[in-house]
Amino acid sequence: MGRTNRISSKNGLTLQIKFMYYSILFYIFSFFVILSSIGVITSKNPVYCVLYLILAFINSAILFLFLNAEFLAMLLIVVYVGAVAVLFLFVVMMLNITVEEKKSKFLKFKPLSVILGSIILVEFLYFLIIDNATLEKLSSTPNLEQKNNTISLGNILYTDFALLFQMCGIILLVAMIGAIVLTLRKRPGVKKQIIKNQVDTKKDDVIEVVSVNNNEGA
């Protein structure tokens, strides 16, 4: 009996140490997420902003791993770090954006940014303080012995939050169409590449044979 009590107390102590270890690591990576997020909005170099963003995504993926959400962690690494952030980095480096020049243009949108930020803050506080039922529904985790994270996430997205999921898809579609329209608009002084004319071009249209007499320049 005494030996059983010693084994159980030893196991309980091991679990406490492991829980404290995971808690310390969780708060460390959370601090890195906050620090890198501050670096994104305060850095004056756009390349550094994208690098801070990649660091924030990686630390957020590690936090998802601590929460047993492996699918979301891998999705964050593959989609956001591997595609979106790297794309941002290449675009920023190719465009050679000067912050001081763009900063003066962004200042006129500061009141609108403050209004949108206030709305987002009010919504966050509403769900955090008032609407506890929705938070309990979101935080409720299914039995992982019967389902894995991917199946559980699919069941939640396509049942309880199917309408919100479709609305997000529509918003992304509208944003993509808007980006294409802004990119393809006619701008003066910019030559547009016409693929059809390049394919239909013949040798006689681009090459001209000129006969030059001796001792005469072209």
Task: Note whether 44 and 54 are same-domain residues.
Answer: yes
Q: What is the pLDDT of residues 107-158, one digit of tens each?
A: 677 787 788 888 888 877 776 776 566 556 555 555 545 556 777 777 888 8
Task: Note whether 118 and 129 are same-domain residues.
Answer: yes
- The Cα–Cα gap between 186 and 192 comes to 9
- The Cα–Cα gap between 95 and 58 comes to 25
Residue 205 lies in a domain: no
- The Cα–Cα gap between 110 and 96 comes to 23
Residue 212 lies in a domain: no
pTM equals 0.55
Query: How sure is the predictor about 51, in pLDDT bands with cuts at 50, 70 and 90?
Result: confident
Structure tokens at 29: 């990576």
Task: Note whether 69 and 147 are same-domain residues.
Answer: no
- The Cα–Cα gap between 185 and 36 comes to 36
Task: Note whether 57 and 116 are same-domain residues.
Answer: no
- Report the range out of 83-87, 181-185, 188-192 with the highest average pLDDT: 83-87
Are 74 and 62 contacting, i.e. CB atoms less than 8 angstroms apart?
A: no
Q: Give the structural domain span for 135.
A: 110-140
Query: How sure is the predictor about 180, in pLDDT bands with cuts at 50, 70 and 90?
Result: confident
What phi and psi, each to the nearest 5 degrees, are found at residue 11? Answer: -65, -40
- Report the range out of 96-100, 133-137, 170-174, 208-212 with the highest average pLDDT: 170-174
- The Cα–Cα gap between 88 and 51 comes to 10
Task: Note whether 32 and 90 are same-domain residues.
Answer: yes
Structure tokens at 46: 């756009």
Residue 207 lies in a domain: no
Helix (H) or strand (E) holding 57: helix 46-66
Of 203 and 147, which is predicted with more confidence? 203
Task: Note whether 53 and 123 are same-domain residues.
Answer: no
Residue 41 has pLDDT above 70, yes or no: yes
Residue 194 lies in a domain: no
Residue 209 lies in a domain: no
Task: Note whether 48 and 121 are same-domain residues.
Answer: no
Last residue of a domain, one of 45, 68, 97: 97
Please report the DSSP string for 68-79 in residue order.
T-HHHHHHIIII
CB atoms within 10 A of CB 63: 18
Overall domain count for the chain: 3
Task: Note whether 91 and 6 are same-domain residues.
Answer: yes
pLDDT at res. 164: 86
What phi and psi, each to the nearest 5 degrees, are found at residue 41? Answer: -90, -10
Task: Note whether 8 and 92 are same-domain residues.
Answer: yes
Please report the DSSP string for 180-217 in residue order.
HHHHSS--TT-PPP-HHHHHT--HHHH-------TT--
Q: What is the CATH number of the domain that holds 53?
A: 1.20.120.1200
Are 149 and 69 contacting, i.e. CB atoms less than 8 angstroms apart?
A: yes
Residue 158 lies in a domain: yes
Are 55 and 36 contacting, i.e. CB atoms less than 8 angstroms apart?
A: yes
pLDDT at res. 105: 63
Structure tokens at 114: 């403050």
Structure tokens at 150: 């991917």
Task: Note whether 2 and 29 are same-domain residues.
Answer: yes
pLDDT at res. 35: 92
